[in-house]
Chain A
Amino acid sequence: MIRVDGIHKSFGKVHAVRGVSFAAPDGKITGLLGPNGAGKSTTLRVLYTVLKPDEGTASIDGADVVTDSLAARKNIGALPHGAGLYPHLTARENIAYYANLCGIDKSEVDDRVSGIITLLEIEEFADRRTKGFSQGQRTKVSLARALVHDPQNVILDEPTNGLDVMATRSLRRLILKLKDAGRCVLFSSHVMQEVAALCDDICIIANGQVAIDDSIDGIRERTGQSDLEEAFVCAIKMVGEE
């Protein structure tokens, strides 16, 4: 369960996030949708505790991301935007490194790593050094290492960026699997169709503010647009006009 309550974040003069609030419940997929530069990444970075909000609070399963950040991080698997791997280590070693850092029992590390490798269907290149991996391969390995400690909350920042159709599909299947397992999945995207295909709830962000936070049908209803893309544009305009 992820809760965000009125967070603000500025970088110098740029007020990137201006009072964003939403909740992402367990067993559901929540989409953070917005144009480039809307403040999606900044919001997610606050959630996985690499940034501190200037104002407002956020919590992961009840643990505050600022005052109790270590406990918050324990329950997160995060895939930051453009996450990089260690090129001199194999995919398996990359994943095992995170498994060890997450404190998984030493005797279990090998099994857990093999398990996640099977789950993500990356056996084929698991024992190759990650130097020269394709974007799709890199994303899968990054995801595997983010999920290796079986976190209750999964935060994905534009995970489908740079992926081809096949890779996107398998990522979708995985996200649905996580949902079925009762996990809380929060992911960001700037592609409406992608969010619509997966999410139970959508939080549209524009200009650092929440435009609409509702189910897909709710968004259609409130914007009066049956076409999702139109609804998206309409919602963004609502914020812009304020």
Chain B
Amino acid sequence: MRTLLTVFFKEVLDNIRDRRTLVSALLMGPIFGPVLFAFVINLSIDRALDDADSTMDLPVIGQEHAPNLMRFLRSRNINIVAGPEDIDGAAEAVKAGEHDVVLVIPANFGELLADTVPAKVELFSDEANSQGEKEARRARGALHAYNQQLATIRLSARGVNPMLLTPINVDAVDVSTPSGRSAMLLGMMSYFFIFALLMGGMYLAIDSTAGERERGSLEPLLSLPVTRDQLILGKIFAACVFMAASLMLSLISFYVVLKFMPLEQLGMTPNFDLGVVLAAFFLLLPFILLGAALMTLVASFTKSYKEAQTWLSAVLIAPTLPILVVSILTLRPQLEFMFVPSLSQHLILVDMVKNEPLNGLHIAISVCSTLFFGALLTWVCARLYRREGLLG
């Protein structure tokens, strides 16, 4: 036990003094997630607000032919600006990305309207450009509304009930709760936690295997009167502590970031108070042993620090795979999923954030299975540490 603690404290001290480890454990992981998250959320808030409230510039060719239409568009917060010279110019400008949309009104627009012949207007847009597509949709919507308005007036003038034009009235009802809507975006949160957690122990895992070997400190260490099991366990536990610290920091930084984010504007009220922060910490705690053992295991196969870094970057991605698959297929939490580490934590965390009742059995299975895999990998690590080939 003393050996284990000696190794543990030495590794902690050694790595606290190593700026690279410290930066990756206590800064990179915990900061990277929330910053990226804040960025994405702000972007979607901007976009959501764009649609309804912001003024949109619409270049129009031949404004003078349709003064009423122009007035109608302005009333819908669409700012009419001068467009290119002619139709060819309009197509060119949209293609070149100078304008997202251009509306072209022909000279005979008024005449056609008066003759109750469908008056043709042209709307140029680039559907491959997502911003342009959005503006085009908005312009089309406005034109459609004007169309409806004119039709209603015409029918009324002829003594026909305009209701005849709307045999069906579709009313879409969104049943998601504000917390539920949060879960979609906040679903990526769980990956950030796992990422930060793994990042926290990455350099320690490399250092205690490939690093020791490259430095030449492994051989004298192995010639000491201690068992290799004690050495590797001490190293894995030190990695666990760094991972736990990194996880806690990233949870707290998320908590702080969410406080300052105008999520209500997106119709989201995530359930992420201090209680959930703590619950999430304990939920992810079993994953720490698994992560530390996995990273140490992978690093122990590599020949150099550089090679270990390359491989461990891949390990950082690995826990996303089950999360990704389930997100794409939009699968609901099932009992079988709880046996899969990272996926089970993700699903339970999403439920927590959605403020939905938690399934005790699911949590128990998640904890036990993750701990089991963690213990298994730790055992494999210890076995590998006894190999002669360890010295490379």
The interface of chain A, by Cβ under 8 A from chain B, is 45, 48-52, 70-71, 73-74, 76, 78-80, 82-89, 93, 97-98, 100-103, 129, 142, 145-146, 149
Contacts and interface: CB of A to CB of B under 8 A. Distances in A.
Interface in B222-271: 222-227
8 contacts: A45-B219, A48-B223, A50-B222, A78-B223, A84-B216, A86-B14, A86-B217, A93-B13
A146 B15 CA distance: 23
Give the one of A79, A85, A88, A145 with max B CB within 10 A.
A88
Nearest to B391: A50
B388 A84 contact: no
Nearest to A88: B17
B44 interface: no
A50 B224 contact: no
B225 A52 contact: no
B284 interface: no
A101 B6 contact: yes
A158 to B, nearest CB: 13
Give the one of B18, B220, B224 with max A CB within 10 A.
B224
Contacts of A70: 225-227
A88 B219 contact: no
A71 B17 CA distance: 34
Contact of A74 (B6, B15, B220, B225): B225
B2 interface: yes
B287 to A, nearest CB: 28
Contacts of B224: 73, 98, 101-102
A75 to B, nearest CB: 8
Interface in B2-20: 2-3, 6-7, 10, 13-15, 17-18
B140 interface: no
A178 to B, nearest CB: 17
Interface string B1-45: 011001100100111011000000000000000000000000000
A145 B220 contact: yes
A89 B220 contact: no
Given A85-B217, A86-B14, A97-B10, A49 B223 contact: yes
Interface residues on B, range: 20 to 34
Lowest 9 CB-CB distances: which A-B pairs, in order? A84-B216, A84-B215, A88-B17, A48-B223, A78-B223, A80-B219, A84-B217, A74-B225, A73-B225
Nearest to A83: B220
A51 B386 CA distance: 10
Contacts of B17: 88-89, 129
Interface in B150-189: none
Contacts of A86: 10, 14, 215, 217
Given A80-B216, A80-B220, A84-B217, A89 B225 contact: no
Contacts of B220: 78-80, 83-84, 98, 142, 145-146
Do most interface residues of chain B lie in helix, strand or loop, or is the interface mixed? Answer: helix
Given A50-B391, A84-B215, A84-B216, A76 B14 contact: no
Give the one of A70, A76, A86, A142 with max B CB within 10 A.
A86
Nearest to A79: B220
B105 to A, nearest CB: 73
A229 B289 CA distance: 58
A101 B3 CA distance: 5
A142 B221 CA distance: 11
A74 B71 CA distance: 94
A132 to B, nearest CB: 14
Contacts of B3: 101, 103
A21 B152 CA distance: 109
Contacts of B217: 83-86
Nearest to A97: B10
Given A50-B388, A103-B2, A82 B216 contact: yes
A65 to B, nearest CB: 11
B207 to A, nearest CB: 9
Given A83-B216, A83-B217, A89 B10 contact: yes
A144 B113 CA distance: 100
Given A82-B216, A89-B13, A89-B14, A101 B223 contact: no
B219 to A, nearest CB: 4
B223 A50 contact: yes
A149 B215 CA distance: 23
A49 B220 CA distance: 10
Nearest to B5: A100
Nearest to A99: B6
A88 B14 contact: yes
Contacts of B13: 88-89, 93
Contacts of A97: 6, 10
Given A70-B225, A78-B220, 6 more contacts: A79-B220, A83-B220, A88-B18, A98-B224, A101-B7, A145-B220
A79 B10 CA distance: 20
Contacts of A89: 10, 13-14, 17
A35 B18 CA distance: 39
